[in-house]
Copies of this chain bind each other. A is one copy, B any other.
Amino acid sequence: MSALPRVALIGCGRIGQVHARTLTSLRHLCDFAVIDDRNVQAAQVTASFLDVPRATADSEAVIADPDIDAVIIASSTETHAPYIELAASHGKDIFTEKPIALDLESTQQALAAVERAGVRLQVGFQRRFDGGYAAAKQAIEGAELGSIEMIRDAMRDPEPPPVDYIKRSGGLYRDMTVHNFDCVRWLMGEDPVELHATASTLVSDEFRKANDFDTSIVTLRFQSGALASIENSRRSGFGYDVRTEIFGSEGALMVGQSRALPVRRLSASGVLEDHQYFFLERFRDAYREELVAFLTALRDDAPVAVTGEDGRAALVLAYAAERSLRENQPVPIDLKEVSYA
């Protein structure tokens, strides 16, 4: 290894702040050179706090800057695809928050640009880097569970997002279920061949107004005959819920909820434990590990762990779920197929 890659962070909102702190602690893997945000004051405050030399508000200029080797895209969703294309055209390696784009056309255009430029692109499906999910994947690959027969993957947010977010989210399947689609596909180690979706609006009328849903079950069938179900809700009433159960011929493995504190309270009304309330808390380490993996891939000139193709596949499944809902019937899946619109 010669010099460390010079890295720019594009966007320092909620998730950008998490990445900024991680990059600060990874000075052995990168030269964290720039924090960029369209809100230049946010960039400046964060850069000053974290001792990062530059703060800017001109994302395109930073992405094009020859002094930058790699970009971490954590800006708003609609900028992901254009920034990926721009970064690719300037030969930068790219880590992008999910999704690449909310539509398949932009996604494929961005992937084509990455392909042409021969740069690395890692998509921020952070679950794959969580210790629990990594242990699950390892158990599956090590055949500890025998052959995999069913996966149940549940994800519920503590509370619905703000109305503005709902309108721009791309809908439940492209915004939320993409995480599950990626997770189930990755764990299963094969692609689904059929999908059925059913959904309701039970949490808030705002979803209905946005032509969206807030409660859903998607069922998937895989080539091997293995089955999966994905449960989503935009509001749990009890906190962040992300749990996955994997059933194999030799046993099962469950990635479950974590307590925030190792405390039990016993009273006449029972035994009370707490529960991690928010995804940033649940996946704190995973958000770190995905950047470690990305920067390590850069250092070792190795392929990234979550590819643009993985991002595209999850989006294709979201399209399929939308079509299943519209047509009220199962939809055959071919991930090579360009579009389900």
A residues adjacent to B (C-beta < 8 A): 21, 24-25, 27-28, 49-51, 131-132, 135-136, 139, 144-147, 149-150, 152, 154, 156, 194, 196, 198-203, 215-217, 219, 221, 224-229, 231, 233, 235-239, 241, 247-275, 328-330
Contact = CB atoms under 8 A, between A and B. Distances in A.
Given A225-B202, A273-B270, A274-B271, A149 B264 contact: no
Contact of A270 (B24, B248, B268, B272): B272
A254 B249 contact: no
Contacts of A252: 236-238, 241, 265-267
A225 B201 contact: yes
Which secondary structure dominates chain A's binding surface?
A: mixed
Query: Which of A136, A149, A221, A224 has the largest count of B CB atoms less than 10 A from its CB?
Result: A149
A331 to B, nearest CB: 11
29 contacts: A24-B25, A144-B265, A145-B237, A149-B200, A194-B198, A196-B198, A200-B226, A202-B226, A202-B249, A216-B227, A217-B228, A219-B219, A236-B251, A237-B248, A237-B267, A237-B268, A238-B252, A252-B266, A253-B263, A253-B264, A253-B265, A253-B266, A254-B265, A254-B266, A257-B262, A258-B259, A266-B275, A270-B272, A272-B272
A283 to B, nearest CB: 11
A328 B217 CA distance: 17
Contacts of A146: 237
A238 B225 contact: no
A136 B263 contact: yes
Nearest to A218: B219
Given A198-B196, A237-B248, A265-B253, A50 B27 contact: yes
A256 B264 contact: yes
A11 to B, nearest CB: 21
B262 A256 contact: yes
B255 A267 contact: no
Contact of A135 (B149, B233, B263, B266): B263
Nearest to A248: B237
B251 A267 contact: yes
Contacts of A270: 272-275
A219 B267 CA distance: 25
Contact of A215 (B28, B225, B241): B225
A258 B250 contact: no
Contact of A328 (B202, B216, B241, B330): B330
A268 B251 contact: yes
B238 A132 contact: no
A58 to B, nearest CB: 26
Contacts of A199: 227
A79 B5 CA distance: 41
A249 B226 contact: no
